[in-house]
Amino acid sequence: MSTAKIIDGKAIAGEMTDQLADRVKTYISQTGSPPCLAVVLVGEDPASAVYVRNKGKTAEKIGFRSIQHTLPADTAEDVVIELVNDLNDDPAVNGILVQLPLPDHIDEKKIIGLIAPEKDVDGFHPINVGRLGAGDFESALIPCTPAGSIILAKSAHGENLSGLNAVIVGRSNIVGKPAAQLLLAENCTVTIAHSRTKGLETVVRRADLVVAAVGRAEMIKGDWIKPGAIVIDVGINRVPAPEKGDGKTKLVGDVDFDSAKNVAGAITPVPGGVGPMTIALLMHNTFTAACRQNGVSSI
């Protein structure tokens, strides 16, 4: 039984950020100042805190200026609105990221809608969503996780994904829907499935390319996978790991990796697959935003 190629997202993301660091040096020589990313974190969600810390470290490593605003969980919505407006108005800030999820008393849609579209490096603003849906990749800022997923798929299959039967399991605005738009642009035949899809196993088994983003630990089993298919696992789920000791946990994806790796042609691990790419694409979006705002042609 052959084993799938393991797609090393960490290595691919590292190459991307190394290349970006060189481009940042050129940008600074042309503009006199580095691109600037501002991150807003409300509350003390441990996973969010780790993500924000990693984003800040990567930003500084490649030569960006990184600003972090950490607010208590009980911060009033008006305070967050005022902060976002201040960042919108600050010409030195090129990218704004409000870490999700926000506490329940803060309206996420309202906050996302307040971010200036040209600084919306997550790609969640309705204007960027519309541009992506219309295929306007020249002016859109594209959501990072879906964009990273496509790059990983191409690393396994080659640049031309045209004609592949792609199944996305998950319909979120953050991953599922934008991934569908990107795969349509690559001339794939795209199906968006989800936890309520009838005959989900059969639907997934038809796929040449599976993007798993349903948010359920190890839901997609190896016998759901078409032999030789490419599997991109976006899921990040923390589950008990008694084998590591009392009370210990581990991260797993939405795909049962151990069974799927014996069937798939290529598969991303969790961790070390899509996660690092999300941060690399965030840096790419921040750089793109800075270039557009300052009239710098492609470097």
- Taking the C-alpha atoms of residue 163 and residue 158, their distance in angstroms, rounded to an integer, is 13
Query: What CA–CA distances, in Å, run from 70 to 41, 73, 122, 215?
Result: 5, 9, 18, 26
User: How far, in Å, CA of 41 to CA of 257, rounded?
Assistant: 32
Residues annotated catalytic, as ranges: 55, 99, 122
Residue 95 identity (one-letter amino acid): G
Report the run of H or E that residue 39 belongs to, with start and end.
strand 36-42
Which amino acid is residue 188, in one-letter code?
Answer: C
Q: How many helices (H) and strands (E) does the chain have?
A: 10, 11
CA angle 32, 97, 57 (to 5 degrees): 65
C-alpha distances in Å from residue 265, one per residue of 2, 7, 10, 157: 9, 10, 19, 9
Smallest CA-to-CA distance from 288 within 133, 140, 69 is with 140
Mode of pairing for the β-strands spanning 249-252 and 237-240? antiparallel
